[in-house]
Amino acid sequence: SRIMHNNYLRRFLRGRVEDDASVKKILQAMNCDTSGRKYAVMLFYVRDYTALFADDKTIGDEQRIDLVNFIIENIASELIEGSYQCFMVESEDMMAALVSADEKEKNAEIENRLIAHGNEFLSAIDENFNISCCISISLVTNSCFDIPEAYRQAVDAMEYACLLYTSDAADD
């Protein structure tokens, strides 16, 4: 079921699954091929979504966050899936995308395409929904067993980006 896959993917990204056999099994159960693939992780952190709900006082905070995550998941998936396999899950107050690419594609090409998709995403989410987001992207890894490390890279990059954003905002 989708809920079980999401729970497992969340645990796996965070490095809480040690058994290599179950890593391959669950990825294959999610239709994520594990042979001949490269992987990257993209994280989407919402900085501000208040403008989206400015005229609606009837929706509670939890429903707002669920709706924002739903919007992020749909737009990000649609953009990324034009090029790669993409599996989205909420993790640590962010949306995480596990991206699976063909091993024949060069790492730099994958990273550049993900950056381009990220920029398209930021424009779409801002223009259509007045949502301000920050995105981080891990380096490309050649093994499904290195996905948790890619996730940690993306989290570290996101923390750094958020610190920069906070200090820039304080300077204004």
Mean pLDDT calculated for residue range 25-33 = 77
Between vectors from CA 136 to CA 132 and to CA 141, what angle results, nearest 5°?
Answer: 155
Tokens matching residue 132: 């301000």
- 59-68's contacts with Cβ under 8 Å and 24+ in sequence apart are 68/131
Tokens 């890619």, residue? 150
Residue 172 has pLDDT above 60, yes or no: no
Classify the phi-psi angles of 59: left when phi > 0, otherwise alpha if psi is within -120 to 50, otherwise beta: beta
Helix or strand or coil: residue 138?
coil
Helix or strand or coil: residue 6?
helix
pLDDT in tens, 40-87: 999 999 999 988 888 888 888 889 999 999 999 999 999 999 999 999
pLDDT in tens, 89-116: 999 889 999 999 999 999 999 999 999 9
Determine the Cα–Cα distance for residues 156 and 125; give it in Å rounded to an integer.
23
Determine the Cα–Cα distance for residues 157 and 171; give it in Å rounded to an integer.
21
pLDDT in tens, 115-168: 999 999 999 999 999 999 999 999 999 988 899 999 999 999 998 877 766 556
Give pLDDT, residue 168. 60
pTM: 0.88
DSSP secondary structure string for all residues of 32-98: ---SSEEEEEEEEEEEE-GGGGTT--SS-HHHHHHHHHHHHHHHHHHHHTTTSEEEEEEETTEEEEE
Instruction: Supply the Cα-derived Rg of the chain in whole angstroms.
Output: 16
